[in-house]
Amino acid sequence: MANIVIAQTTVNDEAKAYEIAQGAVEARLAAAADVEARMTLFYWNKDALRHERGYRVFFTTTTDSVAGLEAWVHERHPHDVPQWIVLPAAATSEQYLAWAVKETTAGQ
């Protein structure tokens, strides 16, 4: 049986964050996607500490759809090694789970 997971990535371009969020929902790989307000990202790249503006994209999806979502996002992500973190939901209402399953399996 499928369960809810929240997957997340970060993108340094607002338009690209919206494009990825909307596209994942349109592709029925995520039931919903939220683009978090602009933030500052700090990370190591080529032995240098970097910082830039970025946007976190949260995807509500299911355990059955998360692998397909990951592949889809990585194909469209501007970074060579995109952040990809999947968090299981500790609890979900039956109604919300049913909605997420319906939205990620529609058209299959």
| Domains of the chain, residue spans | 4-98
Q: What was the pLDDT predicted at 107?
A: 60
pLDDT, tens digit (0-9, with 9 covering 90-100), for 28-68: 999 999 999 899 989 888 899 999 999 999 999 999 999 99
Q: For the chain, first and last CA: distance in Å?
A: 17
Q: Which residue has the tokens 């952040």?
A: 83
Distance CA 60, CA 18 (A): 15
pLDDT, tens digit (0-9, with 9 covering 90-100), for 60-96: 999 999 999 999 999 999 888 899 999 999 899 999 9
Domain range 4-98, its CATH number among 3.30.70.120, 3.30.70.270, 3.10.450.50, 3.30.1330.20: 3.30.70.120
Distance CA 52, CA 92 (A): 34
Q: What was the pLDDT predicted at 82?
A: 92
